[in-house]
């Protein structure tokens, strides 16, 4: 028993000795949670993580020599106050946490811009609220420090932690470890990753300003390394020849598109009336077995634009970007996206594709034309094409907002075709049925956007390829809406989040000029395909001969490999998952 009591005392002594430090850090944490509205279901797991962090820090401070411990504690106070106060200010003023985007913009800000920032924004309620919150904590902190100093050393009765404190601390640490175990596992995997492909996880897993800063710094470090690699490969970009290709290639990238809500794939509501009409007329082919490599936009962008596929050794940045190949071969390349902009500095690290497409060097190699504003609705984005001057040969890439949540935000009054009463699902509440109706309306709206894009090229020799970045659960086979990060994904998750629509539309002139290509598309419609191989199909459509093209990955080639492993998330065989 005495040995147990002694162990409890040893365990509690570092925290007892640094009790005021723990109280101050906890106060700062709770102010951050309060002001940034972080009372999410994971709150207790996060609090367990904070308890673990404080114990480890107190243990280190206890082991330090006396002077070094004091210096370290002051440094930790400064870091805690500054990082927390600045993030709360960012949230109060801009609704922004520490993210890779925020850190990158901060790093790029010049002294003049910094002074202008402070002049413009250090006024108003956001600053007052932040100062009141953290100024109050600092005042009480200094007051308690003064009381402690005035009272001199602790009396003998308080030199050693009481037994009750040791028991309480042990209980808190055990409960905190259990609550934070899963979260710690995710964080460990994140910080030990060596590529950005596997590092995009929910930022709310990082429960304090310091951890969010570490998350952002890690992401930027990985992304910058991959950018350096990609630039090296792009610097030596090579095209041997280009002849006989389609003069107008259009690639439409959808967003969060569950193919099982598409009329083209047997859905029982008219969500794709125009595409269905074109399919019946023989002008549109719907591929039946296309799979996305990931259920995150940023990772899909990397692999569906790079010639390096998911099942190959190395990373996505070991390939080259196919828009640059077509541009080098003489195509004029336009890129319209309704999700991010080519910023003034072109270093916006929001990781939905822009972190590499906005790099100045890569942007100049890939594109002749970019949109300069975002729009509420995808139909409005097409206005950008009115100011675009095409050439004899053109690649036009259109990246839509599609069916991204919140689905009702994608709709105008004229898009309200389905209602909750249209959804015959007794297992769903009325609100859930309305969500399904909103998604189906967004899918029908997307069909109209595709119609408008195709009609712009109706009189040209043009082919339009449409695919989605990934799918989405909309209460399909499970009462879940959105995406699930399960590892490994279940068959249900694979079906709804990784199966995607892939369609090819031909203009009348294309059908007349390229009957062999039309036949090859029709022949290939049931082949198993993964969208990370799409660049090889586009390169072949352009008639480009280059070292990066692999006919075994070209969906329309007679040499196409129907047996390649379709690895989702770079580690799980999709075909094995869905056949279990």
CATH number of the domain encompassing residue 522: 3.40.720.10
Q: Domain check: are 183 and 107 in the same one?
A: yes
Please check whether residue 66 lies inside any domain of the structure: yes
Backbone φ and ψ of 383, nearest 5°: -60, -30
Q: Which of 530, 536, 564, 538 is nearest to 550 (CA)?
A: 536
Q: Domain check: are 215 and 251 in the same one?
A: no
Q: What percent of the chain has pLDDT over 90?
A: 54
Q: Domain check: are 191 and 253 in the same one?
A: no
Residue 350: is its pLDDT beyond 60?
Answer: no
Give 530's strand partners. Answer: 291
Give 48's strand partners. Answer: none
Look at the chain and count its residues. 580
**SS3 state of residue 38:** coil
Section 289-295 average pLDDT: 93
Cα radius of gyration rounded to whole Å, the chain = 28
Higher pLDDT, 174 or 321: 321
490/493 Cα distance (integer angstroms) = 5
231 and 212 Cβ atoms separated by less than 8 Å: no
Higher pLDDT, 142 or 345: 142
233/318 Cα distance (integer angstroms) = 7
Please check whether residue 31 lies inside any domain of the structure: yes
Q: Domain check: are 206 and 253 in the same one?
A: no
400/306 Cα distance (integer angstroms) = 19
Task: Tell me what pLDDT residue 156 has.
Answer: 46
Residue 329's pLDDT band (cuts 50, 70, 90): very high
Task: Tell me what pLDDT residue 353 has.
Answer: 53
Task: Tell me what pLDDT residue 503 has.
Answer: 98
Q: Domain check: are 135 and 191 in the same one?
A: yes
357/339 Cα distance (integer angstroms) = 12
Q: Domain check: are 196 and 334 in the same one?
A: no
Ranges of H-type helices in 285-405: 297-305, 322-328, 354-357, 360-366, 378-381
Section 295-323 average pLDDT: 91
Task: Tell me what pLDDT residue 479 has.
Answer: 81
499 and 575 Cβ atoms separated by less than 8 Å: no
Task: Tell me what pLDDT residue 344 has.
Answer: 43
Residue 367: is its pLDDT beyond 80?
Answer: yes
Task: Tell me what pLDDT residue 258 has.
Answer: 95
Domain that holds residue 423: 247-579
Instruction: Name the least confident of 46-55, 162-171, 297-306, 363-372.
Output: 162-171
Residue 306's pLDDT band (cuts 50, 70, 90): very high
> If you average pLDDT over every residue of the chain, what do you get?
87
Higher pLDDT, 395 or 361: 395
pLDDT tens by residue, 138-154: 999 999 888 877 765 54
Please check whether residue 39 lies inside any domain of the structure: yes
First to last CA, the chain: 54
Residue 35: is its pLDDT beyond 80?
Answer: yes
Domains in the chain, number:
2
Residue 155's pLDDT band (cuts 50, 70, 90): very low
Higher pLDDT, 181 or 117: 181
Residue 265: is its pLDDT beyond 60?
Answer: yes
Burial group, residue 104, by CB count within 10 angstroms (0-12, 13-18, 19+)? buried
165 and 16 Cβ atoms separated by less than 8 Å: yes
Please check whether residue 393 lies inside any domain of the structure: yes
**SS3 state of residue 453:** helix
Task: Tell me what pLDDT residue 109 has.
Answer: 54
Section 257-263 average pLDDT: 95
Residue 497: is its pLDDT beyond 80?
Answer: yes
pLDDT tens by residue, 159-201: 678 878 888 888 888 888 888 888 888 788 778 877 665 555 5
Phi-psi region of 481 (alpha: psi -120 to 50; beta: other; left: phi over 0): beta
Counting DSSP H helices and E strands in the chain, the numbers are: 21, 15
522/268 Cα distance (integer angstroms) = 24
Q: Whole-model pTM above 0.85?
A: no
Please check whether residue 237 lies inside any domain of the structure: no
Q: Domain check: are 202 and 325 in the same one?
A: no
Residue 206's pLDDT band (cuts 50, 70, 90): confident
One DSSP character per residue, 236-247 reads: T----EE-S--S
Domain boundary among 186, 221, 256: 221
One DSSP character per residue, 463-525 reads: EEEEEES---EESSSSS-EE----SSPPHHHIIIIIB--EEEEE-HHHHHH-HHHHHHHHHHT
Q: Domain check: are 208 and 251 in the same one?
A: no
Task: Tell me what pLDDT residue 347 has.
Answer: 40
Higher pLDDT, 154 or 496: 496
Residue 11's pLDDT band (cuts 50, 70, 90): confident
Task: Tell me what pLDDT residue 25 has.
Answer: 94
Please check whether residue 450 lies inside any domain of the structure: yes
Section 404-410 average pLDDT: 87
- The DSSP bridge pattern shows strands 572-573 and 394-399 to be unpaired
Instruction: Name the least confident of 59-63, 110-114, 401-405.
Output: 110-114
Q: Domain check: are 390 and 444 in the same one?
A: yes
400 and 378 Cβ atoms separated by less than 8 Å: yes
CB neighbour burial string for 281-298, b if at least 16 within 10 angstroms, e if fewer: eebbbbbbebbbbbbbbb
Q: Biggest alpha carbon distance in the chain?
A: 97
Please check whether residue 137 lies inside any domain of the structure: yes
537/576 Cα distance (integer angstroms) = 25
Cβ count near 375 (within 10 Å): 15
Please check whether residue 241 lies inside any domain of the structure: no
527/285 Cα distance (integer angstroms) = 13
């Amino acid at each position: 028993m005495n040995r147990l009591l002694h162990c409890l005392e040893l365990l509690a002594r570092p925290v007892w000795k640094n009790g005021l430090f723990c109280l101050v850090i906890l106060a700062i944490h709770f102010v951050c949670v309060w002001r940034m509205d972080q009372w999410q279901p994971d709150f207790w797991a996060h609090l367990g993580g904070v308890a673990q962090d404080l114990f480890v820090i107190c243990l280190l401070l206890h082991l330090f020599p006396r002077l070094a411990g004091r210096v370290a504690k002051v440094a930790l106070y400064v870091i805690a106050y500054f990082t927390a106060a600045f993030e709360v200010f960012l949230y109060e003023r801009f609704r922004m946490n520490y993210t890779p985007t925020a850190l990158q913009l901060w790093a790029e800000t010049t002294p003049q811009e910094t002074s202008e920032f402070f002049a413009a924004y250090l006024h108003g309620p956001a600053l007052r609220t932040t100062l009141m919150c953290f100024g109050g904590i600092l005042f009480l902190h200094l007051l308690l420090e003064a009381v402690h100093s005035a009272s001199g050393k602790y009396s003998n009765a308080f030199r050693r932690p009481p037994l009750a404190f040791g028991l309480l601390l042990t209980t808190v640490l055990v409960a905190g470890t259990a609550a934070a175990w899963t979260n710690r596992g995710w964080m460990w995997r994140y910080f030990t990753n060596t590529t950005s492909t596997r590092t995009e996880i929910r930022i709310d897993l990082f429960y304090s300003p310091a951890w969010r800063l570490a998350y952002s710094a890690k992401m930027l470090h990985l992304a910058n390394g991959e950018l350096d690699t990609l630039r090296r490969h792009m610097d030596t970009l090579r095209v041997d020849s280009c002849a006989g290709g389609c003069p107008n290639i259009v690639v439409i990238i959808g967003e969060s598109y569950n193919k099982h809500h598409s009329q083209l794939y047997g859905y029982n509501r008219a969500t794709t009336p125009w595409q269905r009409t074109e399919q019946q007329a023989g002008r549109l082919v719907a591929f039946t077995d296309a799979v996305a490599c990931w259920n995150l936009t940023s990772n899909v962008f990397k692999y569906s634009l790079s010639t390096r596929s998911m099942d190959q050794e190395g990373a996505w940045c070991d390939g080259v970007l196919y828009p640059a190949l077509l541009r080098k071969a003489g195509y004029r390349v336009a890129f319209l996206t309704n999700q991010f902009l080519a910023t003034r500095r072109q270093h916006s690290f929001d990781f939905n594709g822009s972190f590499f497409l906005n790099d100045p060097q890569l942007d100049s190699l890939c594109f002749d034309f970019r949109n300069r504003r975002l729009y509420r609705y995808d139909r409005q984005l097409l206005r950008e094409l009115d100011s675009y001057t095409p050439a004899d040969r053109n690649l036009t890439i259109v990246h839509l907002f599609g069916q991204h949540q919140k689905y009702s935000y994608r709709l105008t009054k004229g898009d309200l075709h389905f209602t909750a009463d249209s959804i015959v699902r007794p297992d769903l509440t009325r609100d859930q049925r309305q969500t399904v109706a909103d998604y189906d309306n967004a899918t029908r709206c997307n069909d109209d956007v595709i119609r408008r894009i195709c009609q712009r090229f109706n009189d040209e020799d043009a082919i339009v390829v449409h695919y989605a970045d990934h799918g989405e659960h909309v209460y399909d086979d499970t009462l879940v809406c959105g995406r699930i990060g399960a590892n490994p994904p279940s068959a249900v998750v694979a079906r709804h989040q990784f199966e995607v629509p892939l369609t090819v539309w031909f203009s009348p002139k294309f059908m007349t000029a390229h009957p062999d290509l039309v036949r090859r598309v029709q022949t290939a419609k049931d082949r198993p395909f993964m969208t990370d191989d799409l660049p090889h199909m586009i390169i072949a459509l352009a008639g480009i001969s280059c070292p990066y093209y692999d006919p075994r990955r070209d969906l329309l080639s007679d040499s196409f490999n129907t047996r390649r492993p379709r690895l989702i998330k770079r580690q799980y065989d999709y075909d094995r998952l869905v056949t279990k």
